Amino acid sequence: MLPICARPIALAAVMAAFIAAPAAAEDFYAGKSIELLIGAAPGGGYDIYGRALARHISRHIPGNPNVVPKNMPGAGGARAAGFLSNMAPKDGTVIANIMPGAVMDPMLAPKADKLFDPTQVMFIGNVNNGVRVCISGKHSKIRTFDDARKLKAVFGAGGANDSTRDYGYLHKKTTGAKWDLVTGYKGTRDLTIALERGEIDGFCGFDWASLKAQKPDWVRDKTVNVLIQDSVEPMDELTKLGVPHVMKYVTDDTTRKVLELILSQTVFHRSFIAPPKTTPANLAILRKAFDATMKDPQFLADAEKLRIDVAPLSGERVQEVVRKLYESPPKVVDLARAAINR
């Protein structure tokens, strides 16, 4: 037993250790850079969101590290998530933003290469729980979604994990759309060019926020027809524009459950992730910085200038949503899998 006179010294040493640990974590990012992998091609909605966050989050991270965005497109963000999970340091100096299809695909496309485990990556936060739409060009005979259920058309789409592909097939399988799907386009930027050239009648899975950010004139001048809104709940803005909600075309409970599973990914629409096994202290710093950025007047002013929507969700909440998704009943998962594939 320590002598009475030595006890204050020992207690002081213990308290100093507890104080030093958080201080060390707070100092971790000083003098460092954070690489932000953007899991999409330049110029699209995910690129716009990723670069906007990169410009502002550093102010809220102790040590103010330089945040460097780097595009790493492929497999709807799964390539970036795979690099993050398997090769990047597990200390929060490399993070990524990914498309929700990358989170859903290991469950809904089990034959695809499994580049990462969505239940193991650490979610930092989600910028926007969005709504996706199908659109057609003014040159097309498809002016409404009812037209799409009666008339043949050619719609474009990306590749695996891409919402434009998944939602294109989803409507063919569940709501009666008669379009033929041409896949292989590299993101919404290429699809908008194809639509302008008249190569395709339209495409699905376009984020409403991205449409407004990338092509504000299309919305302002009504250059395209917005055919349907895909989300768990209807969006007031689109409803007021007369755009029908997907559930209008669902007549049975089983299909409704399938759509609810697929559309639930809009909850983690613009997610940012850290590697599995990121140190708890550094993950806490990133999550706190993300939440602060979502309230930052400079970030919000930048978002308004860019015409991007901000409706954030905490990393802890997104982590819980993804966990529950992966506990979905196998029968519903099987039907959802069939709905978004050829």
Residue 305 maps to which CATH number? 3.40.190.150
Contacts of 92 (CB under 8 A, 6+ apart): 28, 34, 274, 275, 278, 279, 282, 283, 285, 286
Task: Indicate whether 2 belongs to any domain.
Answer: no
Residue 13 CB coordination number (10 Å)? 9
User: What domain range is 150 assigned to?
Assistant: 132-265
Identify which of 335, 133, 159, 317 has the alpha carbon closest to the alpha carbon of residue 253. 335
pLDDT of 154 over the 90 cut = yes
Could you tell me if residue 338 is inside a domain? no
Number of domains forming the structure of the chain: 2
Predicted confidence (pLDDT) per residue in 89-136, tens digit: 999 999 999 988 889 888 987 666 789 999 999 999 999 887 999 999
Domain end marker among 226, 249, 265:
265
Model pTM?
A: 0.74
Residues 291, 191 within the same domain: no
Nearby residues of 134 by Cβ (< 8 Å), 6 or more positions away: 145, 148, 155, 167, 171, 177, 202, 203, 204, 205, 206, 226, 227, 228, 230
Q: What is the pLDDT of residues 161-201, one digit of tens each?
A: 688 999 999 999 999 999 999 999 988 889 999 999 999 99
